[in-house]
Chains A and B, each alone.
Chain A
Amino acid sequence: MLIAAADNSIRLNLSWIDYVMIVVYFAVVIGIGFIARTRVRTSMDFFLSGRSLPAWITGLAFVSANLGATEILGMAANGAQIGMSTLHYYLIGAVPAMVFLGLVMMPFYYASKVRSVPEFMLRRFGKAPHIVNAIAFAVSNILIAGINLYAMAIVIEAMLGWPEWVAIVVSAGFVLVYITLGGLSSAIYNEVMQFFVIIAGLIPLTIVGLNRVGGWGGLVDSLEHTESAQKLSTWAGTAIGHVTNPIGADWLAIVLGLGFVLSFGYWTTNFTEVQRAFSAKNMSAARRTPLIGAFPKLFIPFIVVIPGLIGAAVLGNQLSGTAGAGKLTYNDVIPKLIQMYLPTGVLGVAVTGLVASFMAGMAANVSSFNTVFTYDIWQRYIKPRMSDEHYLRVGRWVTIIGVLVGIATAFIAAGAANIMTYLQTLFSFFNAPLFGVFILGLIWKRMTSAGALWSYLAGIAAPTVVWISYLVNPSLFNTGTAETMYGAIISFATVLVVGVVISLFTRPKPDSELAGLVYGVGKIDLKSDAVVGDQAWYRSPALLGTIALILCVVLYLPFL
């Protein structure tokens, strides 16, 4: 009855009106590039928007930089596959991590005036861990940009019928132009714009989808008939020793692995995210950046995961986990629902939003890559003591080279999709140990440079070993997702043990060099750069953080 489109293609039928909306959007994107260009006079303007942006812009960019292809399609796929348990990624994962970043870590980052996350490593621990961190970030980020580019090309090919190479070259070309022109400001303005457009596309999709399945009640009914009703609960079946939930992990692994280590690691140490807060105009705005981002993040699952559930109810047995000839995969849920439910008009908005979000994701990778390459590698180790104009020029060239390498990676990915998936999993091991090193370094002034270096390396190696063992012997964990959670916990524990042991045998930095970098050493002035209005009660970081955490609990309640 509901399966209006029984075929397995997700080709969309766009009219000229929909194309006009896409063209208008990308004309504005390029226009923003030229406007931002006029304000780039120094390398700091190019890499960190001259630390001048207001909190609402950096906050929305913070959440939007993560709202790329993998996020929207991937979380909707999770919604179709494991149901409401996907809420964990938002409510136990992202939001508490964002609150932690805003309340606890941002004062250290912003007050130390570092220009990148690796630079914080340099200030706190010195050169050896800094080199490892900077190179790992630069290399992984540019390759991830390429892998994302390829993922986007597949979807664009399926939806619009463009050949993959056209999709790759055209979208990389747009990113190249607007980032080279306006740097981070271009990236951030486009992220904010993309945020509103994708929301304007996903809300009508969710409304129409719910209407077609007979409202929320109809969705629940149909899931109970066709699928396991467990898709509607989040914490059921997570008891230790008696795991029956679709993630395949108990509550402790979910809280510690997914929540504490993986999400805190990603949101607090991934420079692609944190860079948005570094570009804020003062301490207050920097701290509010992730907190403002937390509020949209709380509600995004309801326009991403619910469409996933609708897909599970409506498409049911058409969906499969693996791609095959003429088969729909879980990742196709959103494009398929767009095809089925959205008429010309909102269709154009939704497609614009999707394509824009793919592109913004890649732009975020490129704009953080060029910063780390220029400041942390080029300026620090290759050509120090040059003029600011030199670094601005290098930044532009690195952007161009970065995009070209990204395009090359995308083409390699097209030939070796499996290897690329592995590579991406591998890179996911970088954040958890970095978080471990930073946390230990922030609370324990005795931690040494050698302790940081070796615990960081051990923390990357440990989950790699766990992951390889899982590939060899898949019976070790219930699901791949469960493996990443336990892997993250093991990585974090390794960092703590190795970091403490080696630090005890090596000489720490004197207190005088640690002021403002370790909790309790020196004082961080949170108000010295305050501007009129920062004191308003609704701008209080503590209040915003508390409300966000309360909402995390409240939003779980209907889906226990």
Chain B
Amino acid sequence: MSDSNRSSSRAPAGGLSLTEEQKRQLVRSTRRFDLRRILGGLFLLYGIIVTIVGLVNTSADVHQTGGIAINIWTGIAMIVLGILFFVWDRLYPVPEEDILKNLEREDEEKAVGEGHELG
């Protein structure tokens, strides 16, 4: 794709004119990889691994830590945190306009990147 052609042929109003379907697609794909989902997934996975290790090796853990089943406690805490990340993502998704605004500002951003604002 030749970027220079693309930006010069665009209407001066700026921004890509997307169809409603493309916009929905973009919002969906951005939200799919929200950082909170990645964090939630990672902590859920770690939490499950750590909890299972804790359940299998309880006596060894307790011996090393002086009485605390640290893997079980940490594992449960990580699972809870992981779920909280998913809940947070669910309740407060990234606003649509934030996602689209970023795309619409592409020309403006390029001007800033080229240093025009600073003269």
Contact = CB atoms under 8 A, between A and B. Distances in A.
B64 A392 contact: no
A149 interface: no
Contacts of B105: 50
Q: Say whether chain B's binding surface is mostly helix, strand, loop, or mixed.
A: helix
Contacts of B66: 208, 211-212
A193 interface: yes
A42 B113 contact: yes
A276 interface: no
B21 interface: no
A193 B42 contact: yes
A25 B57 contact: no
A388 interface: yes
Contacts of B81: 196, 200
B42 to A, nearest CB: 6
A375 B115 CA distance: 8
B113 A43 contact: yes
Give the size range of A's interface with the partner.
35 or more
B54 A207 contact: no
A343 B46 contact: no
A387 B115 CA distance: 10
Nearest to B67: A211
A212 B78 contact: no
Nearest to A212: B66
A501 interface: no
Contacts of B3: 387, 389
Contacts of A115: 112
A24 interface: yes
B106 interface: yes
Given A192-B35, A387-B114, A343 B109 contact: no
A281 B98 contact: yes
Contacts of A42: 106, 109-110, 113
B91 interface: no
B74 A113 contact: no
Contacts of B50: 345-346, 348-349
- B30, B39, B98, B114: which has the most chain A beta carbons within 10 Å? B114
Interface in B26-68: 30, 33, 35, 38-39, 42-43, 45-46, 49-50, 53-54, 57, 60-61, 64-68
Contacts of B73: 204
Interface string A17-47: 1001100110010011001000101111101
A122 B115 CA distance: 13
Nearest to B99: A52
Contacts of A208: 65-66, 68, 70
A52 B98 contact: yes
Contacts of B65: 208, 211-212, 341, 343
A343 B53 CA distance: 9
B68 A387 contact: no
Contact of B78 (A24, A200, A391): A200
A196 B113 contact: no
Contacts of A531: 95, 98
Interface stretch (A261-269, A298-306, A315-323, A378-386): A378-386
Interface in A333-388: 341-346, 348-349, 375, 379-380, 384-388
Contact of B46 (A341, A349, A375, A384): A349
Given A44-B109, A386-B114, A391-B113, A345 B42 contact: no
Interface in B64-92: 64-68, 70-71, 73-75, 77-78, 81
A123 interface: yes
A21 B38 contact: no
B42 A388 contact: no
B118 interface: yes
Given A41-B106, A345-B53, A113 B117 contact: yes
A207 B112 contact: no
A483 interface: no
A531 B95 CA distance: 11
B39 A196 contact: yes
Nearest to B71: A345
Contacts of B49: 17, 20-21, 345, 348
A189 interface: yes
A43 B94 CA distance: 23
A28 B78 contact: no
Nearest to B56: A345
Contacts of B115: 375, 379-380, 384
B22 interface: no
9 tightest A-B CB contacts, nearest first: A345-B53, A43-B113, A345-B71, A388-B110, A388-B113, A44-B109, A208-B65, A345-B50, A42-B109
Given A43-B110, A212-B66, 15 more contacts: A17-B49, A25-B42, A39-B30, A57-B35, A193-B42, A196-B39, A196-B43, A200-B46, A208-B70, A344-B53, A345-B57, A349-B46, A379-B115, A387-B114, A388-B111
Interface of B: 3-4, 30, 33, 35, 38-39, 42-43, 45-46, 49-50, 53-54, 57, 60-61, 64-68, 70-71, 73-75, 77-78, 81, 94-95, 98, 102, 105-106, 109-115, 117-118
